[in-house]
Amino acid sequence: MASRKQVTYSERPNHAARRAHAQGERAFRTYDTSFIRPKRSKAPAIISLVVLVVVLALIIFGIASLVRGCSPQTNLIGSGETATITVAEGEGAGAIGKSLTSAGLVSDANKFTSRVAELGKSSSLKTGTYTIAGGTSVDDIIGILEAGVSGETFTVPEGSTLKQTAAIVSKATNGRISENDFIQAASNASVYAGSYSFLASAGTHSLEGFLFPKTYAFDDTSTADSIIRAMLDQFKIETESLDLSYATSKGLSLYDVVNLASIVEKEADADHRTTVASVFYNRLADKMRLQSDATVAYFVGHDPTADDVATENEYNTYFIDGLPPTPINSPGLATLQAVCAPETTKYLYFYFAPDDKGVMQYYFSETYEEHRATFE
């Protein structure tokens, strides 16, 4: 990269309680037989108590039924069918149970999770891609997951591009799955949109951004397609709990969220993701260009020079309005979460550079004058 400092711009925009006291006089009469009430029968009280107990029992039964009804359940696949699931690194019994339920291998995810805990196997379930026959018992499924799969693993780091991921897969498989074959298989998101609804807004773009960064298992039977599906399965699992309400309120689709997160992935360290995300949101709101070196680097394939930044292309956010055409890498979950819940700021600019000790420091500014002062 040129000796110039990396600069990334981003521009734009008890209530009191009342108390009332009422006082009144009580009149007491003594020896007035009109105030003597006849002794009441205990029968009505007993009946009321019985009714109350019955009502409470019905309520408790109703709640229990509701809880059971809320448990993830599905129709099981037939004994002559098979289903494939992927257990990713760090995935617990709860998430695995959901995958098994979605695949039609178990009827109730909670029962699977409870059985795993009962057998003391919570930490014994291994990563990998499993093909399991319909009708396999829960205990046998647990045994399969405990035994693991034969084969190797590879890891896709956060912020990896499609090309980088293809190179990792090719190296892991000793070239059996070539980089070109993998890139070609991931070149059109619409091929997978029928199985993965979150790809609906990706159109015919590549799967850039959606090949979730994680550790994956493979064997000699693995193909580019099966590995891609394992990555898409992982994306679905990791992102199903994302709250997109803030992003959608700003006019962003899920595809846009992944796109913006891919930029934040390259522009921010772990401590500044939410702040950097806020800068880009502010610039988008003010109709300012994002002016991110990261998008230029994606297009040219290296840290951009001054000439690269000054050259117009479809990914150069110094020239184009809004987000680039596609994500520029596959962001990690923490970055996706940061984009879904950014810090609230008025910052429009930021700049980062190492200090005298080599530690990267971030500087945020609301005005261009303040921004220039941070590095002049």
Helix (H, G, I), strand (E, B) or coil at 44: helix
CA neighbours within 13 Å on the CB side: how many for 129?
24
Please give the Cα distance from 56 to 72 (Å, whole number). 27
Residues 6+ apart with CB under 8 A from 80: 134
pLDDT at 2: 38
Instruction: Give the per-residue pLDDT at 51.
Output: 58
Check if the beta carbon of residue 354 is closer than 8 Å to that of residue 8. Answer: no
pTM score of the predicted model:
0.65
- Per-residue pLDDT tens for 167-178? 999 999 999 999
The pLDDT tens digits for 319-330 are: 999 999 999 999
pLDDT at residue 48, as a whole number = 62
Report residue 211 as tokens.
Answer: 């090949």
Structure tokens at 105: 């291998």
Assign 55 a pLDDT band (cuts: 50, 70, 90). low
The domain locations on the chain are: 82-147, 152-239, 243-373
120 falls in which pLDDT band (50, 70, 90)?
very high
pLDDT for residue 77: 85
Residue 6's pLDDT band (boundaries 50, 70, 90)? very low
According to the model, what pLDDT value does residue 281 have?
Answer: 98
**CATH number for the domain whose boundaries are 82-147:** 3.30.1490.480
Residue type, 126: K
pLDDT of residue 46: 61
| Confidence category of residue 215, pLDDT binned at 50, 70, 90 | confident
Q: Is the pLDDT of residue 229 over 80?
A: yes
**Residue of higher predicted confidence among 139 and 25:** 139
pLDDT at 52 over 90: no
| % of the chain residues with pLDDT over 70 | 79
Closest CA to 375 of 339, 341, 346, 351: 351
Under 8 Å between Cβ of 274 and 341: yes
DSSP-derived 3-state class of residue 126: coil
Q: Give pLDDT, residue 42.
A: 54
Tokens of 42: 């205990």
The three-class DSSP label of residue 281 is helix
Average pLDDT for residues 45-57, to the nearest whole number? 60
Among 56-65, 94-103, 262-271, 321-330, name the one with the lowest average pLDDT.
56-65
